[in-house]
Amino acid sequence: MTRHTARVSRTGLLIIGLILLLAAGAVLARALAASTSVLGSSTAPVLTHTQVQYPTQHSWVWPVVAAVSAVIAVLALWWMKAQTSTKTVRRLPLEPDHVHGTTVLRADAATGAITDELESHPNIRSADAALRGSRRSPGLRLDVTAENRGDPAAVRRSIETEAIPHLRQALELETIPTVMRLQFSRAFDRHLT
Amino acid sequence: MSETGGQRGQTIVIPAPSGPPRQERTDVWTPEARHKARLTFRPRRTIPGVIVAAVVAAAGIIGCIWAASAALSHPLWNVPHSDFAGPLQSTVHWDGTGTLLVASAVAFVGFLLILIAVIPGRTRAVPLATGEESVVIGVPRRSLRRSLRWLVQDVPGIDKAKVRARRGTVKVRGTTRLRDTADLQEKVRKTVEDRLAALDPLWPMQVKVKLRVKEKEG
């Protein structure tokens, strides 16, 4: 769900921000001679000759650097994927009874039913639905565009008291955490006469 | 400037032509519902997150290739790996201007990322009250502004209108050719308030209307 991706993005940004700030802070502290006894002299060169020669004399350095870089790259790619994935549910198990076999419902059948129901409402121009999160307790994401001249209270009522309960019934779920975005459009609708 | 609709009592009125009556505001405007709505609609920070992830991934991949090639003694770059930090060696000191500048820049970027991560940010949508705990509804701020602008422009006498939706306030600025603005102002305010009441936002929204009289040309 959106809250999940938000947490993933924000946590990652916080970690990387902290790493950068701390590293740069340490460099600045040494450069400004904040603590010569701990960090060393501020007038010393950044890299000494021995440090530069170190990799040539120790063959393990480059493979280790390569491995660490690879791990960082994999972590960053995983983070990127976690941020962009919508976690859309495609199949829903309907019968939790594994002994007698399971019934699986295609998620687009359920979301198609709710969008059809919504779009048949005279004040709704278009609707889009998706099930997200875990298969056992999915969340519903609804995007509804309503006719601006219509009564939004009526639109909301039909969604909250009809469309969502119908989907709940169809999926045999107690509740479906729903996030809905309601937008408005001015173009005259074919239903509106 | 006219202001009303900010009090709970006045925004209770929801036109309900059919169906069950909606709940009382005190039941719906709960701190939990507001907190949940805020969490749902606050910026996700996916764009900066993906950009930073891409930069880190690219750096990791380049670093990995370079280090691997150096390990095999065939560096891809014509920087001899034995001297990989050639320019840094002995000429750059800890207290050099370059070191200070680079470290400051990195610290600034780090600070910026922390701010992006920590600041909640303005909600992308105006949350609406729902009777149910499991349902969160929001109108994207831009859509709300557009919707209200269309409604105001449909009020007879209004030529042009601009709407701004801030947290807790909706500001309408319109131009008219009519002389008597008091009546028109009231009409505009009523239009906006009625729509807001029908939408039923999770926070009370104050409506402010400002009209400018445009002189007739010719």
In a domain, B191, yes or no: yes
State in words which class domain A91-185 has: alpha beta
In a domain, B20, yes or no: no
Whether residue B75 is found in the same domain as residue B133 = no
Whether residue B57 is found in the same domain as residue B153 = no
Residue bearing the bigger pLDDT, B116 or B12: B116
Whether residue B142 is found in the same domain as residue B196 = yes
Give residue B26's pLDDT band: very low, low, confident or very high (50, 70, 90). low
| Cβ under 8 Å to A: B residues 87-146 | 88-96, 99-100, 102-107, 109-118, 125, 128, 130-132, 134-140, 143-144, 146
**B153-170 confidence digits (pLDDT tens):** 988 888 889 999 887 889
Question: Nearest C-alpha of chain A: how many angstroms from B218?
Answer: 33
Q: Is the Cβ pair A21, B114 closer than 8 Å? A: yes
| pTM for this entry | 0.75
Whether residue B139 is found in the same domain as residue B188 = yes
Please determine, for residue A141, whether its predicted confidence score (pLDDT) is greater than 80.
Answer: yes
Domain-wise residue ranges, chain A: 2-84, 91-185
Q: How many CB pairs (< 8 A) connect A and B?
A: 272
In a domain, B141, yes or no: yes
**B175-199 confidence digits (pLDDT tens):** 988 888 888 889 999 999 999 998 9
**Chain B touched by A87 (CB under 8 Å):** no
Closest partner CB to B111 (pick from A21, A41, A80): A21
Whether residue B171 is found in the same domain as residue B72 = no
Other residues' Cβ atoms within 10 Å of the Cβ of residue B122:
11
**Could you tell me if B188 and B172 are in contact, meaning their C-beta atoms sit under 8 angstroms apart?**
yes
Q: Is the Cβ pair A83, B146 closer than 8 Å? A: no
Q: Where is B5: in which H helix or E strand?
A: none
Whether residue B98 is found in the same domain as residue B135 = no
Among the candidates B118, B134, B161, a domain finishes at: B118
Residue bearing the bigger pLDDT, B52 or B1: B52
In a domain, B189, yes or no: yes
Whether residue B73 is found in the same domain as residue B101 = yes
Please determine, for residue B22, whether its predicted confidence score (pLDDT) is greater than 50.
Answer: no
Closest partner CB to B81 (pick from A3, A55, A175): A55
**A5-61 confidence digits (pLDDT tens):** 888 999 999 999 999 999 999 999 988 887 777 777 777 777 777 777 777 788 888
Q: Kindly provide the b/e burial profile for residues B1-13, where b requires at least 16 CB atoms within 10 angstroms of the residue's own CB.
A: eeeebeeeeebee
**Chain B touched by A69 (CB under 8 Å):** yes
Q: Is the Cβ pair A11, B117 closer than 8 Å? A: yes
Please determine, for residue B21, whether its predicted confidence score (pLDDT) is greater than 60.
Answer: no
Q: Which domain holds residue B177?
A: 3-12+25-41+125-213
- Mean pLDDT (chain B) is 80
The number of domains in chain B is: 2
Instruction: Report d(CA B208, CA B173) in Å as an integer.
Output: 8
Determine the pLDDT at residue B144: 93
Among the candidates B62, B93, B118, a domain finishes at: B118
Whether residue B70 is found in the same domain as residue B150 = no
A82: CB partners within 8 A, 6+ apart: A5, A8
Among the candidates B118, B140, B165, a domain finishes at: B118
**A55-67 confidence digits (pLDDT tens):** 778 888 889 999 9
Whether residue B32 is found in the same domain as residue B134 = yes
Taking CA–CA distances from B91, the nearest residue in chain A reads A45
